[in-house]
Homo-oligomer: A and B are copies of this chain.
Amino acid sequence: MKLAILFGGSSFEHEISIVSAITMQKVFKKTELVNIFVSPMREFYLIDKKDMKSKYFSSGDYKKAKKLQLQKGGFVIGGMFGDKNIELDTLLNLIHGRDGEDGKIASMMEFYGVPYISPRVEACAVSYNKLFTKLFANSVDVKTVPYELLYKNGSREIKTTLPVIIKPSRLGSSIGVSIVKEESELDYALDVAFEFDDLVLVEPFMSGIKEYNQAGCYTDKWELSIIEEPHKEEFLDFEKKYMDFSRDGKVGEADVDEAIAKKIQNSFKTVYGNVFKGSIIRCDFFVQDGEVYLNEINPIPGSMANYLFEDFENMIIRLAQNLNFEQNIKIDYTYIHSIQSAKGKA
């Protein structure tokens, strides 16, 4: 299988997408990878395997790579003697944050008919906007942390008791997120959050909780990862972030009560449902007093959460073999023909 890895993008998470893509080079052993970089200016470049090093991108050297155009059927290199197609069987969308997780890449692959592993556009809307995540999860009876909404030019009075977490509604990776413990910190935290979004969620800071991550996908069957208990820090710092996106070894399974594990797995399947078909997602859950709450959906997790799966590479292959495609719509102009007849100018 030829698997294209699409990474980079015009996103706050551009750089960690590069780290994720470099990790993929080690994770895939038998699959031929075709690396396609989306530059900060949103131009496509075909990157040689030997150049898949962070410095190649940070130095701007990638600009010497071959530029690609996306068109009907896939990517091409334009040239004097016509276009040359880039052969690929499936594309893996590995652009974290904007472009990758907001539905742009999914839309473009769908429009141009490139088979792709990624949340589809609707799944992106559900996971990219934290308010929609809550509405959607609640509609399928999966509990979420309670919240209130604040609007950029609206009142800043909050009803939730401190401490609270302030989150911009869109964006991921803790960008613009603050924990507010004292009344006096609230205004600044809101200023920061409103830098990134017009809509901000205020959630109670839940204490005495356990945090668990569950990743997985549906191929021709459910393929769930082990449950991970992430290292808890108040803030996701630099080291931790790098760890997450560059990780290719295995991690240990969380020591979690069987009944809770079952609840987490069921919640994951319910959320994934039909909406997330075609993608591998990671759901982050909180557990408090035996109750499971969906915290967020990570629709393109760091390094695809490969380290949580027994056999990641073969799972990707099975997923690629089980993608759904859009319905074929036959357009035969029956309707226009009948208008023309009705008007007597057929």
Contacts and interface: CB of A to CB of B under 8 A. Distances in A.
B110 A104 contact: yes
Given A121-B121, A125-B121, A139-B131, A333 B57 contact: yes
A244 interface: no
A336 interface: yes
B126 A58 contact: no
Interface in A31-56: 40-43, 54-55
A96 interface: no
A339 B55 CA distance: 10
Nearest to A346: B55
Given A107-B103, A121-B103, A125-B122, A340 B58 contact: yes
A206 to B, nearest CB: 22
Interface in A77-115: 98-99, 102-104, 106-108, 110-113
Contacts of A110: 104
B121 A339 contact: no
Interface string A127-144: 011011001100100000
Given A72-B42, A135-B135, A198-B274, A15 B331 contact: yes
Contacts of A124: 121, 125
9 contacts: A42-B112, A98-B326, A99-B111, A103-B121, A103-B125, A121-B121, A122-B128, A125-B126, A242-B339
Interface of A: 10-12, 14-16, 18-19, 40-43, 54-55, 57-58, 69, 71-72, 98-99, 102-104, 106-108, 110-113, 121-122, 124-126, 128-129, 131-132, 135-136, 139, 151, 196, 198-199, 238, 242, 274, 326-327, 329, 331, 333-340, 345
